Every structure is written in C-alpha cells, then in structure tokens.
Amino acid sequence: MVLEKGNKISIPADQLTATEVKVEWQQSFRAKSAQYYAVPFFNRDQDNEESVIFIQTTYLGSLKSKSVPGDDLTVVVDDSFQYSLNNEKTKRWLIYHDKSNNILQASQEWRFVAGLMSKLGDDARKFGGGFFPDIDLSQMRLLFSDYPRDVR
C-alpha cells in the first residue's frame, strides 16, 4: 500500500534538520533554487513503512505547527503535501514546500534526489531505509517517471 491522505507520519526530531540539501530547477526559463531538509519518516498507518520527506527550510515552522502530541514530530498528511512515486509506483516520497516552486514536471523532480546525493554521496543510497536505489545520476531522471502531485 502507498501513503495516503489522512495517514500519520512520524519524523524523528533528532534528524529533522540534520540533512539540508539545495534543490535547483528551471521555471519559466529561469534557474531557481531552494534549500530543503531531507528527512526519513515512518508511516504509522502503513506498518511503519519508511520513506523520505523534503521540507523546504522556510516551511519548517509551518510543518511543526501541524504536529500532534508525541516524542517525534508526528503529522497527519493532508493536501498541503505533495508526493511522487518510485518507478514501480509502490512507494511515495513527500514534499512539503511552497507549491509555487514549480518542480512539478516529470523531468525535474529527480533534482530532489540529486540534491540529496550531492550532500550525502554514497550514503544517500541508504537514506530513508534505502528508498532511493543504487543508480547513476545521469540516469536519475529516467527513474522518476511520475511527477509530484498534491496529496488528496
């Protein structure tokens, strides 16, 4: 099963700001970039399945305000999140950011993973429970055939 609207996800508080990555993309023929935290999370409603969320650094306070009581940062996924799927369409990863950051083209969402890999190197392959496969960055955009969309 894949993550759905209404699922509760837990983000380990000690990892929330540990991995900051720069995501770069093209929008209206201009180069754009933003800083994101790449953080593993656990889907409490899907047998604690592990995945990854990219949180725009300027949206961290907004995400924290959605938290329900607990030790970790636990939030209910709603339509303020966006997601994309792995190539097999069996797992979702999340994005929490300014949706006017138009990284919604199938040719661009791989840039999140490229940012993570440039920060962590080979350790990125183990990040989020090994969510991202062992693949050459030159082939990365072929892996992500599904563009990010709103969680509904």
Give the number of domains in the chain. 1
pLDDT in tens, 63-122: 999 998 777 899 999 999 998 776 677 778 899 999 888 765 544 555 666 666 666 666
The pLDDT of residue 129: 61
Domain that holds residue 49: 8-147
First to last CA, the chain: 15
Evaluate whether residue 1 is within a structural domain. Answer: no
The pLDDT of residue 31: 84
Evaluate whether residue 3 is within a structural domain. Answer: no
From residue 83, alpha-carbon distances to 22, 30, 75, 151 in Å are 18, 24, 15, 6
CA–CA dist 71, 76 (Å, integer): 15
Evaluate whether residue 2 is within a structural domain. Answer: no
pLDDT in tens, 25-78: 777 788 888 899 989 999 999 999 988 898 999 999 999 999 987 778 999 999
Evaluate whether residue 119 is within a structural domain. Answer: yes
Percent of the chain scoring above 70 in pLDDT: 66
From residue 52, alpha-carbon distances to 27, 37, 55, 67, 141 in Å are 24, 10, 10, 17, 18
Evaluate whether residue 134 is within a structural domain. Answer: yes
